[in-house]
């Protein structure tokens, strides 16, 4: 019997309730702290080994964002699939397939780059419909359907490309992967104006939204977040955004793909937290039977979920192809595993029902920074793989331990 059944229990002291609150948020805090610790570790290690602090140099931060963008995009779709209790092993092959089709369309059929992008997103939707049909309506486990998809779309990629690479792509198309927003001049001759503006506006929006949300929650008397913690979180996030935008402003400005990623994060966070569709996804993952008996159209939701994943995988494929300026039969190999690892490091439950878009993004960033930092330090790929494996295991073990300690959710 939990203590919660006593609603009239005397209010605990302020510090204790704050501590309880923080204990409840342990996973979220832990993830942030892990990210900071890893960044700090590499920065210091680089200084100590005489390389200088490379990790936080503007050019490296810019590259980090650009080079991990497609994994982060995939992680957004993947976390939704995993929350619903499924998995998608095919996204790496879909990335390659879409890249191949884009290559053929643009370089051989001379389709305008913008039309090719739209057609490729439609192709992603078709791929998702194909897999979603078998999973949702034919009731084949997603593991099997997407394993088959991994093979078939890899095969289709090779057929499309006739086992050859396609290159180069037009500049407009390449901008999607490696372009920057145009410069509007420099503040103090050093910081690019548009990037700083975007950073400041984003920070302001964040602060306003945070305050509004807290006010609404207070009005409805559901606020349990202690004020110091709310303030600390807000200041920290604002500082982080401003810091990154200053770093980017002192290099090439804002990568276009960062804008794409930012829009996706905002939109999908809202979808998962506030839309009927998102709530049905959590309901299905939390208890499929209960969801069905509550009138959730479980098959339709599952189908749409995979259509969505297909579109996101197509977008990741376009970004990746644009970035490499190359459509390659071997592209995207293992991307699905990176995306899945990001989702689980980000706190999603293997059994479904739990997870967040921001968690998956932070999970993806942790993997990205580990890759980047270890490469700078000259750690061999064999050790990189070893360390990433242990980090994934540790993150999930931490979750399982936490759950058991709190008496299971």
Partner 1 sequence: MTNNILEMRNITKTFPGVKALQDVSIEVQRGHIHAICGENGAGKSTLMKVLSGVYPHGTYDGDIVFENETVAFRNINDSEAAGVVIIHQELALSPYLSIAENIFLGNEQQKGGWIDWNQTNLEAGKLLARVGLKDNPITKIMDIGVGKQQLVEIAKALSKEVKLLILDEPTAALNDEDSAHLLDLMKHLKGQGITSIIISHKLNEIKAIADEVTIIRDGKMIETLDLDAGAVSEERIIKGMVGRDLESRFPDHTPHIGEELLRIENWTVHHPLDHERVVVDHANLSVRAGEIVGIAGLMGAGRTELAMSVFGRSYGHNISGKVFKRGVEIDTRTVSAAIEHGIAYATEDRKRYGLNLIDDIRRNISAAALDSLAKAGWVDANQEVVVAEKYRKSMNIKAPNVEVLTGKLSGGNQQKVVLSKWMYSNPDVLILDEPTRGIDVGAKYEIYGIINRLAEEGKGVIVISSELPELLGICDRIYTLSEGRITADVPRSEATAERVMQFMTQEREKDHV
Q: Site residues (CB under 8 A) for partner 1?
A: 1-2, 4-7, 9, 216-217, 219-222, 224, 270, 273-277, 279-280, 282-283, 286-287, 289-297, 349, 353-354, 407-409
| Residue showing tokens 């050093």 | 190
Question: Please, which residue, 23 or 159, has the CB nearer to partner 1?
Answer: 23
Closest CA to 132 of 92, 76, 73, 77: 77
Q: Looking up tokens 């680089």, which residue turns up?
A: 46
Q: How far apart are CA 336 and CA 9, in angstroms?
A: 48
Dihedral over Cα of 249, 253, 257, 262: its sign: positive
Give the shortest CB-28-to-partner 1 separation in angstroms. Answer: 15
Closest CB 293 distance from partner 1, rounded Å: 6
The answer for residues whose C-beta is within 8 angstroms of residue 103's C-beta and 6 or more apart is 161, 166, 167, 169, 321, 327
- Tell me whether residue 81 or residue 301 sits nearer to partner 1 (CB atom): 301
Q: Which is nearer to partner 1, 169 or 282 (CB)?
A: 282
C-beta of 189: minimal distance to partner 1 in Å? Answer: 45
Residue 233 has a CB neighbour count (10 Å cut-off) of 16
Region of residue 13 (phi > 0: left; psi between -120 and 50: alpha; otherwise: beta): beta
Report how far residue 240's alpha carbon sits from residue 36's, in angstroms, rounded to the nearest whole number.
Answer: 11
- C-beta of 378: minimal distance to partner 1 in Å? 43
Nearer to partner 1, 96 or 354 (CB): 354
Q: Output the six-digit token pair for 292.
A: 């069905």
- Rounded least distance, CB 350 to partner 1, Å: 12
Comparison of 185 and 407: residue with beta carbon closer to partner 1: 407
User: Virtual CA dihedral for 329, 332, 334, 339, nearest 10 degrees?
Assistant: -160
**Least distance CB 142 / partner 1 (angstroms):** 20
Residue in the structure block whose two tokens are 């479980």: 298
Tell me how many degrees the CA angle 161-164-169 measures, rounded to the nearest 5.
75
Nearer to partner 1, 14 or 110 (CB): 14
CB of 220 to partner 1, least distance (A): 5
177's tokens: 């992967």
- Least Å distance, CB 292 to partner 1, is 6
* Separation CA 360–CA 25 (nearest Å): 16
- Report residue 194 as tokens: 């548009």
**Residue closer to partner 1, measured from CB, 139 or 409:** 409
Instruction: Please state the separation of Cα 151 from the chain's center in Å.
Output: 24
Residue 342 Cβ vs partner 1, minimum distance, rounded to whole Å: 21
Closest CB to partner 1 among residues 255, 285: 285
Q: How far is the CB of 405 from partner 1 (least distance, A)?
A: 14
* DSSP string across 218-231: HHTT---S-HHHHH
Nearer to partner 1, 249 or 283 (CB): 283
Provide the β-strand partners of residue 166. 327
Q: Which residue lies nearer to partner 1 by CB, 292 or 324?
A: 292
Task: Say if residue 35 is exposed, middle or buried (CB neighbours under 10 Å; 0-12, 13-18, 19+).
Answer: middle
User: What is the closest distance, in whole angstroms, from the C-beta atom of residue 13 to partner 1 in the complex?
Assistant: 16
Distance CA 392, CA 404 (A): 19
DSSP letters along 276-332, please?
A: HHHHHHHHHHH-HHHHHHTT--HHHHHHHHHHHHHHHHHHHHHHHHHHHT-B-TTTT
Q: Which is nearer to partner 1, 110 or 219 (CB)?
A: 219
């Amino acid at each position: 019997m939990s203590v919660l059944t006593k609603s009239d229990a005397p209010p605990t002291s302020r510090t204790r309730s704050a501590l309880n609150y923080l204990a409840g948020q342990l996973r979220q805090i832990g993830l942030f702290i892990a990210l900071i610790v890893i960044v700090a570790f590499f920065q210091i290690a680089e200084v100590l080994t005489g390389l200088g602090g490379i990790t936080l140099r503007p050019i490296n931060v810019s590259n980090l964002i650009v080079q991990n963008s497609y994994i982060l995009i995939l992680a957004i779709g993947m976390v939704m699939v995993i929350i619903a209790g499924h998995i998608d092993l095919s996204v790496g092959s879909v990335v390659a397939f879409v890249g191949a089709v884009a290559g053929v369309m643009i370089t051989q059929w001379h389709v305008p780059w913008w039309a090719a992008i739209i057609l490729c997103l439609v192709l992603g939707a078709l791929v998702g419909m194909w897999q979603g049909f078998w999973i949702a309506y034919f009731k084949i486990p997603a593991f099997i359907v997407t394993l088959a998809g991994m093979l078939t779309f890899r095969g289709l990629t090779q057929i499309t490309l006739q086992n050859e690479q396609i290159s180069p792509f037009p500049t407009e198309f390449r901008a999607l992967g490696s372009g920057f927003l145009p410069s509007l001049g420099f503040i103090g001759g050093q910081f690019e104006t548009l990037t700083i503006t975007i950073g400041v506006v984003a920070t302001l929006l964040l602060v306003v939204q945070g305050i509004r949300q807290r006010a609404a929650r207070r009005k409805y008397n559901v606020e349990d977040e202690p004020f110091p913690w709310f303030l600390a979180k807000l200041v920290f996030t604002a500082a982080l955004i401003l810091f990154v935008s200053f770093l980017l402003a002192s290099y090439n400005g804002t990568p276009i793909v960062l804008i794409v990623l930012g829009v996706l994060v905002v939109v999908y966070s809202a979808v998962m937290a506030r839309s009927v569709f998102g709530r049905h996804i959590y309901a299905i993952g939390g208890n499929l039977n209960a969801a069905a008996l509550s009138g959730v159209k479980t098959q339709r939701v599952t189908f749409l979920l995979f259509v969505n994943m297909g579109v996101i995988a197509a977008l990741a494929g376009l970004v990746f192809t644009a970035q490499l300026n190359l459509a390659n039969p071997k592209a995207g190999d293992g991307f699905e595993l990176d995306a899945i690892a990001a989702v689980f490091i980000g706190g999603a439950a293997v059994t479904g029902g739990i997870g967040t878009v921001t968690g998956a993004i932070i999970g993806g960033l942790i993997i990205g920074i580990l890759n980047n930092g270890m490469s700078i330090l000259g750690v061999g790929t064999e050790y990189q793989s070893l360390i990433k494996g242990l980090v994934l295991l540790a993150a999930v073990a931490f979750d399982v331990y936490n759950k058991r300690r709190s008496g299971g959710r």
